[in-house]
Amino acid sequence: MILTEFMKKHSFGEWMIAVRPWSFPASAMPIVVSLAFLFFRGAEINWIYGIWVLLTMILFHTAGNTWSDYFDYKKKVDREDTFGAKTLTTGMFQPNEIRTLAIVLLTIACASGIALLFCTGLTVLWCGLAGVVLVLLYPWLKYNALGDIDILLCFAAIPMVGTTFAVTGAIDWNVLFVALPVGLITDGILHANNTRDIAHDSRAGIRTFAMGIGVKASAWFYTFEMTFPYIWVGVLSIAGVLPLHTIIIFLTLPVALGCAKTMRDGVNSGKELIADLDVRTANLQLMFSVLLSAAFVASRFI
């Protein structure tokens, strides 16, 4: 009853703004790619557990989004003149509402993870605990130039390794071959934000990785994140580590190069050019991962 009343305080559209569903490819695609990779390798997959992991990962992501928004507002990282989330700076939500939403979402995600643990094994526990810790510590890590490492672990290595165990009963470390390109593009979402917000973040007294290396280097680091995944997949496909079909991801290379050019132009001509680059990077992540997953599935039959 209390939760129902809490939800009624805002419209469905406002709740969607709070959880930012446009960012869900960052959490959903690592799971989808992992399942497709396992299918390609001929593993016996429990698809029900796969869907379960996917939904749980999205719940953790929404909890992380709102938890980060709360601390960004309290730390004065997000203000009325910043590009960040507008849920608090516009008065749409009160800080205690976003904090409560984050706690509720994290509680549900943990409950889902614990239930999955009883159906699978202890490895899921360690992956889940690592995920919870990284979600809770993300604001502090971000403010101390460690947010990019958090993202690579939270949205690539840990969930992808954990997925292989949850759906097959054994860890397949080979999934890390695809965790790297997926993780780099996902981290590009954060890095685009942090590069855009260098001036505002400096005013708030925090220090992100982008601030540490400077504007110019940040633009080139983002360019690396957008291009290296294609080099990596291309080399591994030629070497026979990945199926040759995976080169289909090169269809999205023009999009990646376009994002990289926008970043370089933006740091030279005005941050407004990269105001929505996080959304564009999330869209690239979706396209890249869908094609990579499709390649793995096709390789099982062709």
79 within domain boundaries: yes
Residue 255 lies in a domain: yes
Q: Which two tokens stand for residue 251?
A: 């269809």
Q: How many independent structural domains does the chain possess?
A: 1
Q: Is the dihedral of CA 206, 273, 216, 155 positive or negative?
A: positive
Please indicate, yes or no, if residue 28 is contained in any of the structural domains.
Answer: yes
- Whether residue 79 is predicted with pLDDT greater than 90 in this model: the reply is no
Strand, coil or helix: 206: coil
Whether 6 maps to a domain, the answer reads: no
Tokens representing 150? 């958090």
pLDDT at 258 over 90: yes
The pTM assigned to this predicted structure is 0.92
Residue 52, domain member (yes or no):
yes
pLDDT, greater one: 275 or 257: 257
- Residue 139 is predicted with a pLDDT of 92
Residue 158 forms part of a structural domain: yes
Domain of 263? 11-301
Query: Is 239 inside any structural domain?
Result: yes
The residue whose two tokens read 């004065």 is: 76
Task: Note whether residue 1 is domain-resident.
Answer: no
